[in-house]
């Protein structure tokens, strides 16, 4: 089963997605998600210019060998661009392996270890009342877990607030990033009130999450965690900039609020100390950004040894192919925690036809062989790439801050 072609598609049905398609000499086709939000073309180039020539003629069945060949062969280890490109190849090859076997990928990974994949939805609002009403809307739709975000009084724009019916937190700017303004004191005063109002009005019969999005110092994160303890959070996410693993030692000393981190990680080397020292409770690496199913499974297996559970990143900038790949892994691992699910808005559904569906707060995979997502090239061509940046953040005095 030789690889005869590998093609890269960049399309913008509502937001940008990069898709890798691998074709074999026996007519099988596999898809991988190569989307890296705000840096899409760098992964497309890494694939087209550096990996595609190496893939042609390789045996598509040898997933592990191809992974090692691309990882060790790069010499320049790790990094989001490299690992997203390798991840797309890996998922496309798992898709092909499933199709060759006539089985969904989760069957090849050991079969389902649970009935479905519990997900959390993204509630938000312009203030406490609107945010709580949005959480209630998710609960009414059957969700068992909801993330709550709200505009912070006094700040013009805050991460995580859905604008209108949209599903993006990265507003389009002309030719440079949108600039948000950040005030930690205002945020730290506000979030306990937001969370208290959510629990007061809606109770404790569901999991409640909140994303800090890398904005606090360790002692500020410790204070936030402690202030939220009465409200039994499922987790606070990305409380400090994620590259500083030792920050979590300090946070951990001060609070029993569960901690999650990892959406910007791309290998086990980014989180091995966090896991081995039990500094976090949930590891949020995602299949497309962490070298595909092959490497993300290693991260989760290692985490299981230390009682750390998965909580994979699943924002809308991960395509339905990346989400489906995550679901196959989520369904099989022993230490599944939760899966983020933001969903995708049309016209993404014209380009990606996915077999998974939401019921009772869980995502359920279909029975299609492979990953189970079809990619429509003609539809993709109708939505050409649009240059977009993630926003940046400044403090009120103009200093750059983490977004």
Residues making contact with ligand EZ4 (CB under 6 A): 37, 169, 211, 213, 263, 313, 315, 317, 340
Of the candidate spans 240-248, 262-270, 317-325, 385-393, the one that interacts with Co ion by CB under 5 A turns out to be 262-270
x/- track of binding to Co ion for residues 172-201 (CB under 5 A): ------------------------------
Using the rule CB under 5 A, which residue among 211, 220, 270, 317 binds Co ion?
Answer: 211
| End-to-end Cα, the chain, rounded Å | 45
Cβ(303)–Cβ(310) under 8 Å? Answer: yes
The token pair at 208 is 């409640």
Distances (CA, A) of 385 to 1, 23, 255: 32, 23, 44
Catalytic site residue from 122, 213, 289, 328: 213
Nearest distance from C-beta of residue 146 to ligand EZ4, angstroms: 13
> What, of Co ion, ligand EZ4, none, does residue 37 touch, CB below 5 to 8 Å by kind?
ligand EZ4
Q: Is 170 in the site for Co ion (CB under 5 A)?
A: no
Nearest distance from C-beta of residue 211 to ligand EZ4, angstroms: 5
Distances (CA, A) of 186 to 20, 163, 182, 251, 293: 43, 22, 9, 20, 40
The token pair at 195 is 């969370």
Cβ(124)–Cβ(155) under 8 Å? Answer: no
Q: Is 213 a catalytic residue?
A: yes
Q: Is 317 in the site for Co ion (CB under 5 A)?
A: no
Identity of the residue, 322 or 372, whose beta carbon is nearer to ligand EZ4 in the bound complex: 322
Classify burial at 155, counting beta carbons within 10 Å of its beta carbon; exposed 0-12, middle 13-18, buried 19 or more: middle
> What, of Co ion, ligand EZ4, none, does residue 368 touch, CB below 5 to 8 Å by kind?
none
Q: Is 17 a catalytic residue?
A: no
Identity of the residue, 71 or 300, whose beta carbon is nearer to ligand EZ4 in the bound complex: 300
Identity of the residue, 120 or 375, whose beta carbon is nearer to ligand EZ4 in the bound complex: 120
> What, of Co ion, ligand EZ4, none, does residue 33 touch, CB below 5 to 8 Å by kind?
none
Identity of the residue, 263 or 270, whose beta carbon is nearer to Co ion in the bound complex: 263
Of the candidate spans 86-94, 103-111, 154-162, 205-213, the one that interacts with Co ion by CB under 5 A turns out to be 205-213
The token pair at 47 is 């694939």
Q: Is 330 in the site for Co ion (CB under 5 A)?
A: no
Identity of the residue, 281 or 368, whose beta carbon is nearer to ligand EZ4 in the bound complex: 281
Distances (CA, A) of 188 to 159, 194, 252: 14, 11, 18
Asked whether the CA dihedral 85, 287, 158, 160 is positive or negative, the reply is: positive
Catalytic site residue from 46, 71, 106, 159: 159
Of the candidate spans 66-74, 157-165, 167-175, 203-211, the one that interacts with Co ion by CB under 5 A turns out to be 203-211
The token pair at 24 is 């074999």
Q: Is 95 in the site for Co ion (CB under 5 A)?
A: no
> What, of Co ion, ligand EZ4, none, does residue 317 touch, CB below 5 to 8 Å by kind?
ligand EZ4
Question: Dihedrals φ, ψ of 209, to 5°?
Answer: -125, 160
Cβ(86)–Cβ(19) under 8 Å? Answer: no
Q: Is 340 in the site for Co ion (CB under 5 A)?
A: no
Distances (CA, A) of 7 to 29, 54, 371: 11, 13, 18
CB proximity list for 212: less than 8 A, separation 6 or greater: 221, 224, 236, 237, 238, 239, 240
Identity of the residue, 52 or 224, whose beta carbon is nearer to ligand EZ4 in the bound complex: 224
Number of residues that bind Co ion (CB under 5 A): 2
CA distance 347 to 113: 33
Nearest distance from C-beta of residue 211 to Co ion, angstroms: 4
Q: Nearest residue by C-beta to Co ion?
A: 211
Nearest distance from C-beta of residue 363 to ligand EZ4, angstroms: 16
Three-state DSSP state, 153? coil
Relative orientation angle of helices 320-332 and 80-101, to the nearest 10 degrees:
70
Three-state DSSP state, 256? coil
**Residues involved in catalysis:** 159, 213
Residue numbers of the site for Co ion (CB under 5 A)? 211, 263
């Amino acid at each position: 089963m030789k690889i005869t072609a590998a093609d890269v598609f960049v399309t913008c049905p509502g937001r940008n997605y990069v898709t890798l398609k691998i074709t074999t000499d026996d007519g099988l086709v596999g898809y991988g998600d190569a989307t890296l939000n705000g840096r899409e073309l760098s992964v497309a180039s890494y694939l087209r210019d550096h990996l595609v020539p190496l893939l042609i003629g390789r045996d598509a069945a040898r997933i592990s060998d191809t992974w090692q060949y691309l990882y060790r062969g790069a010499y320049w280890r790790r990094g989001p661009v490299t690992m997203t490109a390798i991840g797309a190849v890996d998922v496309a090859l798992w898709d092909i392996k499933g199709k060759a076997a006539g089985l969904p990928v989760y069957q090849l990974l050991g079969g389902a270890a649970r009935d479905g994949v519990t997900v959390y939805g993204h509630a938000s609002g312009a203030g406490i009342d609107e945010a709580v009403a949005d959480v209630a809307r998710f609960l009414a739709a059957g969700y068992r877990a909801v993330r709550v975000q709200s505009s912070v009084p006094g700040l013009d724009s805050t991460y995580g607030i859905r604008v209108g019916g949209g599903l993006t937190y990265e507003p389009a700017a002309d030719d440079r990033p949108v600039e948000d303004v950040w005030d930690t004191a205002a945020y730290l005063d506000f979030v306990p009130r937001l969370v208290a109002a959510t629990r007061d009005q809606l109770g404790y019969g569901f999991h409640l999450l909140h994303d800090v999005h890398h904005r606090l110092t360790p002692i500020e994160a410790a204070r936030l965690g402690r202030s939220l303890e009465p409200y039994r959070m499922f987790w606070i996410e990305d409380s400090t900039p994620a590259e500083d693993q030792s920050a979590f030692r300090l946070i951990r000393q001060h609070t029993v609020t569960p901690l999650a981190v990892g959406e910007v990680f791309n290998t086990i080397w980014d989180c091995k100390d966090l896991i081995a020292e039990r500094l976090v409770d949930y590891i949020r690496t995602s299949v497309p950004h962490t070298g595909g199913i092959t490497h993300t499974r290693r991260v989760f297996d290692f985490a299981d040894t230390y009682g750390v559970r998965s909580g994979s990143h699943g924002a809308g900038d991960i395509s339905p192919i990346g989400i489906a790949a995550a679901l196959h892994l989520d369904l099989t691992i022993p230490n599944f925690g939760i899966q983020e699910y933001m969903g995708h808005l049309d016209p993404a559904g014209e380009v990606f036809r996915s077999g998974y569906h939401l019921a009772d707060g869980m995502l359920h995979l279909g029975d299609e062989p492979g990953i189970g997502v079809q990619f429509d090239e003609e539809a993709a061509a109708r939505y050409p790439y649009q240059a977009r940046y993630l926003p940046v953040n400044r403090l009120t005095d103009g200093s750059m801050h983490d977004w």
